[in-house]
């Protein structure tokens, strides 16, 4: 039982990271039906910006986190304006190829400027062990920080979506872009806001991972980005609660497989679950069936 509780907490901590990245995927898809495969690399840039703020400018954790989120937000908007806006009305395959191209550009562009070597993230948050159940369950305070920050960011996101004009515009554009435009909503600005918010969350995830694992590299966003996309699909792509659910579900799956099975197969199990869910419910566990006119 103690081992299960230990892995449960570890799974929620890992799943929180996946959820933050998956939110960006699902928000962008909900607005413009685009799978932004460069989103995992925004997460990587967030980690490097946080590293620069802490290692070069000796900032503490919170200022570095805020600056990283702001910088990633700006990068996300620039990417949308430069790469995605010109092909918004093109075919889906053109959008997909563009997203992959942007992803490779960010990865190897970063590698060109900072080199491919792994860097050690400064210890801006010192982890302490919290003993529970007479020492049978050990919790690291870094896990607590990750979960708390993730919950606060998700609450703030819910506030933006349901309590602000920007959030109402995002929901309107997601439902019917043409009707929203006829009602006076600036669709281009709304799409930019969506990229900004999603990229800020990815940047926060990058800093949290850097603090937790203490190492970053230019290709660190490839696998987590892919897994976050899997999490978004499992929960229901385009559904914000689905991204959170999918992220936590995937994190728990990986930790449980590593603890009770073999860590070599954790990725295979995660993708096998994705295939099973798509066969049974193609729209994801929390997704809705949408009928399209032919």
| pLDDT score at 266 | 86
| pLDDT score at 294 | 44
Residue 132 has pLDDT above 90, yes or no: no
| pLDDT score at 293 | 46
Mean pLDDT score, 184-206: 95
Q: Please give the backbone phi and psi of residue 158, each rounded to the nearest 5 degrees, phi first.
A: -60, -40
% of the chain at pLDDT higher than 90: 63
Q: Radius of gyration of the chain from Cα atoms?
A: 19
Q: pLDDT tens, 6-33?
A: 888 889 989 999 999 999 999 999 888 8
Q: pLDDT tens, 39-82?
A: 999 999 999 999 999 999 999 999 999 999 999 999 999 999 99
Locate tokens 């990068």: which residue? 75
Residue 116 has pLDDT above 50, yes or no: yes
Nearest to 220 by CA among 46, 22, 23: 46
Mean residue pLDDT across the chain? 89
3-state helix/strand/coil string of 158-215? HHHHHHCHHHHHHHHHHHCHHHHHHCCCCHHHHHHHHHHHHHHHHHHHHHHHHHHHCE
Q: How confident is the model at residue 291 (pLDDT cuts 50, 70, 90)?
A: low
**Would strands 215-216 and 129-132 be described as parallel, antiparallel, or unpaired?**
unpaired
CATH code at 2-119+126-280 = 1.10.3470
Nearest to 190 by CA among 171, 217, 212, 218: 171
Q: Are 102 and 83 in contact (CB under 8 A)?
A: yes
pTM exceeding the 0.85 threshold for the entire prediction: yes
Q: How confident is the model at residue 141 (pLDDT cuts 50, 70, 90)?
A: confident
From 132-141, 177-186, 231-240, 261-270, the region with the lowest mean pLDDT: 132-141
| pLDDT score at 185 | 93
| pLDDT score at 54 | 94
From 78-82, 91-95, 204-208, the region with the lowest mean pLDDT: 91-95
Mean pLDDT score, 151-176: 92
Environment class of residue 251 by beta-carbon count within 10 Å: exposed (0-12), middle (13-18) or buried (19+)? buried
Q: pLDDT tens, 257-289?
A: 988 877 788 888 888 988 998 899 888 888 766
């Amino acid at each position: 039982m103690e081992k299960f509780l230990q892995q449960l907490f570890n799974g929620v901590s890992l799943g929180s990271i996946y959820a933050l990245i998956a939110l960006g995927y699902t928000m962008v898809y909900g607005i413009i039906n685009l799978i932004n495969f460069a989103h995992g690399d925004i997460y990587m840039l967030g980690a490097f910006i946080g590293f620069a703020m802490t290692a070069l400018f000796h900032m503490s954790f919170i200022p570095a986190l805020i600056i990283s989120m702001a910088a990633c937000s700006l990068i996300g908007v620039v990417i949308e304006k430069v790469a995605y806006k010109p092909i918004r009305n093109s075919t889906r395959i053109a959008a997909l190829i563009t997203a992959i191209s942007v992803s490779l550009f960010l990865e190897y562009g970063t590698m060109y400027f900072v080199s491919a070597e792994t860097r050690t993230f400064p210890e801006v948050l010192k982890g302490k062990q919290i003993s529970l159940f007479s020492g049978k369950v050990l919790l690291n305070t870094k896990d607590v920080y990750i979960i708390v920050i993730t919950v606060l960011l998700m609450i703030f996101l819910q506030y933006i979506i349901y309590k602000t004009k920007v959030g109402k515009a995002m929901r309107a554009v997601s439902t019917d872009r043409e009707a929203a435009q006829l009602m006076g909503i600036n669709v281009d600005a709304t799409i930019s806001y969506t990229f900004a918010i999603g990229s800020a969350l990815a940047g926060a995830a990058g800093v949290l991972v850097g603090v937790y694992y203490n190492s970053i590299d230019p290709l660190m966003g490839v696998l987590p980005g892919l897994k976050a996309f899997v999490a978004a699909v499992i929960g229901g792509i385009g559904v914000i609660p689905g991204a959170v659910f999918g992220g936590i579900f995937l994190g728990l799956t990986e930790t449980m497989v590593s603890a009770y099975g073999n860590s070599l197969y954790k990725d295979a199990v995660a993708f096998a679950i994705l295939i099973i869910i798509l066969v049974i419910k193609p729209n994801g566990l929390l997704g809705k069936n949408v009928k399209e006119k032919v």
